[in-house]
Structure 1
């Protein structure tokens, strides 16, 4: 089994926080779709594809015909499990009646929508195209179209955001009664417009203790509403975990197509060039621009720590060599002592307090 990820980099406008590879060159979308189809043919696999994920960027910026072309090639080139989870990202303002009609002709059975916040001032700050009034109607349109598995993304930790404002966003998200919810603290990634605003002193990062309170309120309120907290930033109704994203955390192989897309086969990683022009020229000329990394024992150990510890199941010590197990337990002792890690059935698992400082803990357990 393997996952298939297809990167659609096109956006009508750039959000201030986005560190993913994206472009507003929408006039190149057909050329890009043609290149994706050609890359599929060059990268055929005998593995059964159990999940498909169209991410971005904004996949919903593609036309109905372009989406049909993509899926036609996917099912022609790859052996797709009839019960595959097929996810497509979209923006609330793209969920029109026309979009719904095109969706009904595609094998998409899961939609991930970038809501981010229900506060219009903050949506404008992020340079999102939609407004808060469009969110609930978009979910309703998807429901009427038969989409029974909907995920939404939320953000918290905005400059000057209060705890009560964040709780209002959580309550509005819960009122949508979606199957899955992802929530991320606002990040100031180097190279983004938001980072430049921070450098200029135009915005300030939120207080760490307030961000901690926001995270714990999120955990508690979603748990009370029946959501399973199965990964640091992800919550799902029972049986509705993201199978595709879980494959990343469980070391399942995946194929990445498109500019900047990454692939993993258990032994090496490869990634396409993060340039639209270079990607297109490479595919069209038959000289694809790809970089590789062969995974040695230390790298595989670090990958396992970084992915498995993110989940509620934790890191199975049985997956480690005796030397790795000894090293991992040695480096874990202070976090087991202070209650940020726990050892359950030979699994190292982050506790509630440990989840908030997970990056620091994982970095300490890795081998340099």
Structure 2
């Protein structure tokens, strides 16, 4: 079943490392919510099959930006419009990305009465020095408090984000961050190596010598610590950046990696359907203005050719614990692509960065930190 992604492009302040589309001005937020409702109505047929009255959704994901900045009344408004045209599966996963400073007890209690049944909490670190370096809007105290508060509000499906490789973060501090999540029995952890993206504040600070560069050795070492600790506590490392207890893998992300159709709503949001990818303009004011005039916002699109579809499949599959399905490559892409796949795998099988089973090619534990670089060598 398909899913919907909704981009909420507002933040309290700009994190130094972030290159997603967002605005720290919320002046047009009420207009944005109304524009989003218009886009929902205009795009009601994007996922619809022939003679289908209402599309049944497996997942809805509110990303950003910071979706937890929305008032409950705004969320209710968005859900009401969605359910005019869509129906939720009985066990649908509905995720809201959130920051600890937005999730007080009252807000959490109100959220528990909406269709949201999975919270993604951007903790990043429990240490004040890391949060200051990243320019996060929440405090270490708020990071500590949000997990028990979310549990008291009745949320059982919680994922928390952490960032490792931050200059000045010791291995002991990193272990402490991981163990705090585990102590609360958080069933899913997403952990990302700090990366320096172009045109971010962090990139400028490092270039001007105002901040130390990221240490790749530190990042690799802390990735190994992460893998070891989560494995010891019953988490499955099912994707390079994602660790889940059985039954708590991100269904929305799994659908992305499996080529399931999804509709993206909001500025900069991407959609995918049968080899067609399209993405909205990354300009919130332009997005609002067009929809106020009854028009879809400007978008770009591409039809993925066979090479692109193969590259994308290999890239996403190799990041997962299941790896590349050899028979699928043969059936979907043909013998030529299968031969290219097996040829590219030889050196990684030889040096221990990959493993081969009767049906799959899988990146080994030794190769996981290098997964993106390994995947690139399979591209055609």
Where does residue 92 of structure 2 map in the other structure? 84
Q: Superposed, which structure 2 residues align to 1:109-188 within 5 Å?
A: 109-188=117-196
Shift of 1:364: 0.6
| Deviation by residue 1:198-243 (Cα, 9 ceiling, x = unmatched) | 1112222343222211111100101101111100010011110010
Shift of 1:160: 2.7
Shift of 1:287: 4.5
Out of 221, 224, 227, the position equivalent to 1:219 is: 227
Tell me whether 91-100 or 268-277 shows the greater mean CA deviation: 91-100
Shift of 1:87: 0.5
Aligned residues of 2:58 and 2:92 also touching (Cα < 8 A): yes
Distance 1:331 1:150 in 2: 38
Aligned residues of 1:158 and 1:205 also touching (Cα < 8 A): no
Distance 1:241 1:196 in 2: 36
TM-score (norm. length: structure 1) = 0.97
Aligned residues of 1:160 and 1:206 also touching (Cα < 8 A): no
Which segments of structure 1 move beyond 4 Å, counting only runs of 4 or more?
none
Shift of 1:130: 1.2
Where does residue 8 of structure 1 map in the other structure? 8
Where does residue 298 of structure 1 map in the other structure? 307
Which secondary structure does the structure 1 equivalent of 2:90 belong to? strand
Distance 2:341 2:195 in 1: 29
Out of 295, 318, 322, the position equivalent to 1:309 is: 318
Distance 2:237 2:123 in 1: 19
TM-score (norm. length: structure 2) = 0.94
Distance 1:316 1:326 in 2: 13
Shift of 1:139: 1.4
Where does residue 105 of structure 1 map in the other structure? 113
Distance 1:94 1:55 in 2: 15
Aligned residues of 1:136 and 1:176 also touching (Cα < 8 A): no
Where does residue 51 of structure 2 map in the other structure? none
| Deviation by residue 1:146-199 (Cα, 9 ceiling, x = unmatched) | 111010000010113222221222222222211100000101000110011111
**Residues paired across the two proteins, number:** 367
Distance 1:137 1:6 in 2: 27
Where does residue 258 of structure 1 map in the other structure? 266
Which secondary structure does the structure 1 equivalent of 2:28 belong to? helix
Output the aligned Cα RMSD: 1.2
Aligned residues of 1:8 and 1:54 also touching (Cα < 8 A): yes
Give structure 2 stretches of 5+ with no counterpart.
Answer: 49-54
Tell me whether 315-324 or 259-268 shows the greater mean CA deviation: 315-324
| Deviation by residue 1:289-321 (Cα, 9 ceiling, x = unmatched) | 010101110010011011111100011112222
Change (3 A) 1:168 1:104: closer
Distance 1:21 1:319 in 2: 35
Aligned residues of 1:316 and 1:346 also touching (Cα < 8 A): yes
Distance 2:302 2:26 in 1: 32
Tell me whether 355-364 or 172-181 shows the greater mean CA deviation: 172-181
Which secondary structure does the structure 1 equivalent of 2:27 belong to? helix
